[in-house]
Structure 1
Amino acid sequence: MSQKELAELTNEELLQETKKTKSTKIFDAAIFGFLIGVAVYSAVRNGFGLLTFLPLIYIPIAAKNKARSKDLEVLLKERNLK
């Protein structure tokens, strides 16, 4: 959802989206930690290779999720819901 689509949501829907973003933050951290572990294991075991740079693929996805979370927080503050 873009900023415009977030602005069109009702207060209840915004609060539900906030709950979803909390679980998304945990999921992003878990996936990124796992990918870092795979990269370190790959670098130690086989030297630098394709799996060593695997976490770099997930960075744009996590950045997009974080930006959406920030937009949601701003919208919640505008509506005095948080």
Structure 2
Amino acid sequence: MEKKNYSGMTDAELLLEKKNFKTSRLLHAAGIGFLAGIVVFGFGAWILSSDRSLGFLIPMFFPILFIYKMLKNPKQDDGLMEVLKARGLN
């Protein structure tokens, strides 16, 4: 992902970027919730099953890995928020 120069954008472009940023955050939150639901359901099924082998538990690490990747870089658009605050476009 390329780094954008927010300070060189017009106010209308910044507001459009802010709208896209909010939409992106909402989709990330929905994705994290969906993956967390998969993990909870998988662990519940594993606990209630009669065969508690680790072979069933191993695939549950993939959603955990994806959640970690989504949460690892939440500050990628801090530059946008700083420019919006400096221009008074909150």
Partner residue, 2:69 = 60
Tell me, yes or no, if structure 1 residue 77 matches structure 2 residue 85: yes
- 3-state SS of the aligned residue for 1:81? coil
Does structure 1 conserve the Cα–Cα contact (< 8 Å) formed by 2:32 and 2:70? no
TM-score of the superposition, structure 2-length normalised?
Answer: 0.69
Q: Aligned residue for 1:22?
A: 22
Q: Does the CA contact (< 8 Å) of 2:39 and 2:63 recur in 1?
A: yes
38-47 or 50-59: which moved more?
50-59
Alpha-carbon distance change, 52 to 39 in structure 1, aligned in 2, over 3 angstroms: farther
Residues 37-57 of structure 1: CA distance to partner in whole angstroms, max 9, x if unpaired?
A: 111112222352222441332
Flag structure 1 segments of 5+ consecutive residues without an equivalent. Answer: none
> Percent identity, aligned pairs only?
28
Name the structure with the higher helix share: 1
Q: Which structure: larger Rg?
A: 2
Tell me if structure 2 keeps the 8 A contact 1:6–1:14: yes
Cα separation, 2, equivalents of 1:75 and 1:63: 23
Unaligned runs of 5+ in 2: 47-55
Q: How many residues align?
A: 80
Alpha carbons of structure 1 residues 71 and 62: separation in structure 2 relative to 1, 3 Å: farther
Counterpart secondary structure, 2:67: helix
